[in-house]
Chains A and B, each alone.
Chain A
Amino acid sequence: MSKLIKIGLPSKGRLKDASLKVFKKKNLSIKDVKRNYLSEIKNFSLNEVVFSHAREIVERLADNSLDIGISGYDLLKESLPGIQKNIQVFSRLNFGFADLIVAVPNAWIDVQTIADLEEISFEFKDKNIGKLRVATKYPNLTNDFLLSKGLTQYKIINSLGSTEIYPFTDQSEIITDITSSGATLKANNLRVLKDGNILKSSACILVSKKSLKDKNKKNLVLSLLKKLN
């Protein structure tokens, strides 16, 4: 069995920079060569750093091809229960703050709460104009939230980006999306519902539960986590 531990870090953007800083701050030096997706912590035992998409880090931790990783709490909670049960949140980090929210067009002045949305969804149903469409990159969290708030008559539209324009291009009526300052929502004439906060997210250090049970890796994993704490 390999004693090498694998650490997954976001491969681009602010998440990558902030993740590297977390290690640097603890005097763990990671060499970052542009366009190279593999590296290592030089001053730590046998290890390999893999730069991946933040969403992929969650999946690789679940199947234990990574041992430790940094990713978004939102991405972890969006993953299927079978994935989440294999991952432990070690700590929430002080960056990557964002809220997953429900937003409606500003002009829907009669809609302030999810309960209002529920009535609108029944209006859509009763008029036989189809289901109220909700565009999102987070279908699982959105479903859990809306159903828990009593909204049942809607249809999820999976979006891969620019979700904010969906209500104004006839691709959906409302959206759920991640926002940090709210500026993009405002610029796109959308507003957040009073009770429309689905999840408060930030970056976090995640650990594969299998690694914590693996005799060959456990001590190394715990030792790195201790340094990062």
Chain B
Amino acid sequence: MKSKKYSEALLNLFKKKGFKVKEFENIIESKIIIERSGEIFKKSLLSFEDDNGKNFSLRPDLTISACLDYIKNVKRGIHKYAYFDQAYRRTFGKESLVRNQLGCEIIGSANLQSNIDIINLIDQSLEKVIKYKTTIKINDINIFYSLVDSLKLPSRWRLRLKRHFWRHDYFKELITRLESNSDLQKNVFELDKKSYVKMKKLKQNEKIAGRKINEILNRFEKKIKEPRSNINGARVAQIIGDFLKIKCPFKNAKNELKKFEIKNNINLKLKQFDIFNIKLKNNDTIFSTEIGRSVEYYTGLVFEIYKKSKNLNLASGGRYDNLMQTLGAKSKVAAIGGAINYDNILKL
């Protein structure tokens, strides 16, 4: 009963702000996700094959369902979704296969006001319904990308650090590798140089296992030109580690980042980030560079909302401006959304 009371109250507040409550299709064609996102999503899908060999899955996540609905039915303009329903994911521990998901999304809007609207709506609705004070933690993950761009690193390392920012364990492994300075195998490399000379004489457009010879040789040349040994991996790892420890009241965020820039003699190009212009209704807002590192598709502003006294996570969300295209939209469609941590709310 508690569950129904909370969900109805929250959805009503979302509706009052112009969000349309939508029920999504239970089943989606698996290839929509697999072909575009690779095996990482496939792993969590609960899939089955029909008699024609077509593979289908139970919806794994309602943000994805909202995006697919937008692509299929709305197609253009701003659309505000709200939902409370179940998502189904393969589980590898004691987690349930069925997850209750309550959330809201603004699809088709890139402006700062949408960011403010989503955070305020979720935060204020939570305070009203559960009647506890909340703390908001926010971040823009592009500031981390800007840090990586400002560091003296080969381009392949920049890409790696950005791509895996959201995968905590693997990211740690990358940092350790960065510190230890090794990603070329010298003895193999010498042999490959001989192959390089031979391959230079072949037809450059010929393909070997799906790759043109000139593509292989160009990448090989690039690797030689950008050896890892020229950089101070330990120093770079230290800077990244220090950056990820930045946590302060939101009003001090810009100053803290500026101090960090001066200390490490780098330029984060802070002027380009509009996060510092955000004014939220809740004054208890913290800036933390660690926030937003749990979901692959976030592209900018990210937030988490906590019950103030217990530091219990009540909601999280963020901007995902590339997901729509990944899922099949013909052009870029900006979007932001957030989901209530329903299980934690029921614990209150």
Which residues does A use to contact B, with CB under 8 Å?
A: 81, 104-110, 112-113, 115, 118-124, 129-133, 143, 146-150, 152-156, 167-168, 170, 172-174, 194
Number of B residues with CB within 8 Å of any CB on chain A? 38
A109 touches B43 (CB 8 A): no
Q: Given A108-B216, A115-B160, A194-B188, decide whether A124 and B39 contact each other with a Cβ distance below 8 A.
A: no
CB pair A152–B39 under 8 Å, yes or no, is yes
CB of B48 within 8 A of chain A? no
* Extra 5 A-B pairs, beta carbons < 8 Å, given A122-B159, A150-B160: A109-B199, A143-B43, A150-B163, A173-B210, A173-B211
Contacting pair A106 B39 (CB below 8 A): no
* Interface 9-residue window, one of B189-197, B297-305, B311-319: B189-197
Chain B neighbourhood of A147, CB < 8 A? 39-40, 43
Which of A122, A152, A168 makes the CB contact (< 8 A) with B40? A152
**Is the beta-carbon distance between B167 and A150 smaller than 8 angstroms?**
yes
Task: Assess whether A155 is in contact with B195, with CB atoms less than 8 Å apart.
Answer: no
**How many residue pairs at the A-B interface have CB separations less than 8 Å?**
94
Could you list 28 examples of A-B contacts with CB < 8 Å? A105-B209, A107-B199, A107-B216, A108-B209, A108-B211, A109-B195, A109-B196, A112-B184, A112-B188, A113-B185, A115-B156, A115-B160, A115-B183, A119-B159, A119-B219, A120-B211, A123-B215, A129-B210, A131-B35, A131-B38, A146-B39, A147-B43, A149-B170, A150-B173, A152-B38, A152-B40, A154-B38, A173-B209
Are A113 and B183 in contact, with the CB atoms below 8 A? yes
The residues of B that contact A170 with a CB separation of less than 8 Å are 210
Contacts of A132 on B, CB cut-off 8 Å? 210
- Taking CB atoms, residues of chain A closer than 8 Å to B208 are 105, 107-108
Q: What is the CB-to-nearest-CB distance from A14 to chain B, in angstroms, rounded to a whole number?
A: 31
Instruction: List residues of B (219-264) whose CB comes within 8 Å of A's CBs.
Output: 219-220, 223
Measured in the bound complex, the distance between the Cα atoms of B215 and A45 in whole Å is 66
Contacting residues, chain B, for A133 (C-beta < 8 A): 210
For the complex, give the distance between the alpha carbons of A167 and B211 in Å. Answer: 11
Minimum CB–CB distance from B150 to chain A (whole Å) comes to 21
Q: Could you tell me the distance in whole angstroms from the C-beta of A70 to the nearest C-beta in chain B? A: 28
Q: Which residues of B contact A104 (CB under 8 A)?
A: 209
Q: Let me know if B223 and A155 touch, CB within 8 A.
A: no
Of residues 158 through 199 on chain B, the ones whose CB sits less than 8 Å from some CB of chain A are 159-160, 163-164, 167, 169-170, 173-174, 183-185, 188-189, 192, 195-196, 199
- Chain B residues with CB under 8 A of A154: 38-39
C-alpha gap A137/B238 in the complex (Å) = 41
Chain A residue at smallest Cβ distance from B192: A109
**What's the least CB distance linking B198 to chain A, in Å?**
9
Distance of A122 Cα from B37 Cα, bound (Å): 11
Contacts of B159 in A (CB 8 A): 119, 122
Q: Which residues of A contact B167 (CB under 8 A)?
A: 150
In the complex with contacts A147-B43, A152-B40, A109-B220 CB distance below 8 A? yes
Query: What residue of chain B has the Cβ atom nearest to residue A174's Cβ?
Result: B209
Docked complex Cα distance between A121 and B43 (Å): 18
A153 touches B164 (CB 8 A): no
The answer to whether B192 touches A150 (Cβ under 8 A) is no
B296 and chain A: residue at smallest CB distance:
A152
Residues on B with C-beta less than 8 A from A150 are 160, 163-164, 167, 170, 173-174
Closest-by-CB residue of A relative to B195 is: A109
The 3 closest A-B pairs by CB, nearest first: A109-B192, A167-B209, A110-B219
Residues of chain A within 8 A (CB-CB) of B151 are none
Provide the bound-state CA to CA distance between A132 and B210, in Å. 9
Q: Which residue of A lies closest to B216 (CB)?
A: A110
In the assembled complex, the Cα of A120 lies from the Cα of B210 at a distance in Å of 11
Q: Tell me which of A148, A152, A173 has the highest count of chain B C-beta atoms within 10 A of its own C-beta.
A: A152
Measured CB to CB, the closest approach of chain B to A38, in angstroms, equals: 35
Pick from A122, A156, A167: contact of B39, CB below 8 A.
Answer: A156
- CA A129 to CA B209, docked complex, whole Å: 13
- CB of B347 to closest CB in A, whole Å: 28
B126 to chain A, nearest CB (A): 33
B223 and A110 contacting across the interface, CB-CB below 8 Å: yes
Bound complex: CA of A155 vs CA of B36, how far in Å? 10
Given A109-B192, A112-B189, A150-B163, A124 contacting B210 (CB threshold 8 A): yes
Task: Tell me, in angstroms, the Cα distance from A113 to B184 when the chains sit together.
Answer: 8
Residues of chain B with a CB closer than 8 A to A129's CB:
210
Q: Which residue of chain A is the closest to B177 with respect to CB atoms?
A: A115
Set of chain A residues within 8 Å of B170, measured between Cβ atoms = 148-150
Once bound together, how far apart are the Cα atoms of A148 and B199, in whole Å? 33
A208 to B23, CA, bound (A): 45
CB closest chain-A residue, reference B40: A152
**How distant is the Cα of A143 from the Cα of B45 in the complex, in angstroms?**
14
Considering only CB atoms, which chain A residue lies closest to B160 in the complex?
A115
Of A124, A155, A194, the contact of B185 (CB 8 Å cutoff): A194
A168 nearest in chain B by CB position: B209
Distance in Å from the Cβ of A135 to the closest Cβ of chain B?
11
Closest chain-A Cβ to B219's Cβ sits at a distance in Å of 4
